[in-house]
Amino acid sequence: RGAVEGAACAAAAFVAATVNGCDADLAEDIVDLGHSCYSCAVAAAASVTMHLRPQPLNPDEPLGAKGELDVHVLEPRAEQAATAMFRRSIGYFWADAVYVMVARLAGRRPHLWQGRLVHHVLQSIANLSCLRVGPGLR
């Protein structure tokens, strides 16, 4: 669901910018800046809730057992907000990748299109890995 929300927001912002007189390059920059501001704000707000929580090295052992590791965790509400942000970001990245590919098929060359595609692949991998629960936190 979050990826669909992110893609829809990116598309709506792009359309709104172009309808209001921006050329495609400026509209892309506006959408990118909006995504960056949103992601930065959510990440900053979540990071201030970070705290250490002891986790057993062996998930089958209780807390206090021999061999613990302190793990940085977010407060539940911040974790939910960060998770939603990562999902929405995937939608934004995929929407822009589709836009770049459609533009190329139409014979246009969006600025930095090759680097953007590589960036979106790398960011998708990074975001998907952030959505996986880490060892011992299940």
pLDDT in tens, 32-43: 999 999 999 999
Report yes or no on 95 lying in a domain.
Answer: yes
pLDDT over 90 (residue 115): yes
Q: End-to-end CA distance of the chain: give it in Å, rounded.
A: 22
Report yes or no on 54 lying in a domain.
Answer: no
Cα dihedral sign, 129-131-136-138: negative
Report yes or no on 12 lying in a domain.
Answer: yes
Report yes or no on 122 lying in a domain.
Answer: yes
Burial group, residue 34, by CB count within 10 angstroms (0-12, 13-18, 19+): middle
Helix (H) or strand (E) holding 93: helix 76-105
The residue range of the domain holding 126 is 2-37+76-130
Report yes or no on 85 lying in a domain.
Answer: yes
Output the six-digit token pair for 93.
């990245």
Identity of the amino acid at 109: R
Domains held by the chain: number:
1
Percent of the chain whose predicted confidence (pLDDT) is above 90: 73
Report yes or no on 32 lying in a domain.
Answer: yes
| pLDDT tens-place string over residues 58-106 | 666 666 666 777 888 899 999 999 999 999 999 999 999 999 999 999 9
* Of the candidates 1, 28, 51, 19, the residue with the CA atom closest to the CA atom of residue 111: 28
Report yes or no on 22 lying in a domain.
Answer: yes
Tokens 């792009």 -> residue: 14
Report yes or no on 10 lying in a domain.
Answer: yes
Rg of the chain, C-alpha, whole Å: 19
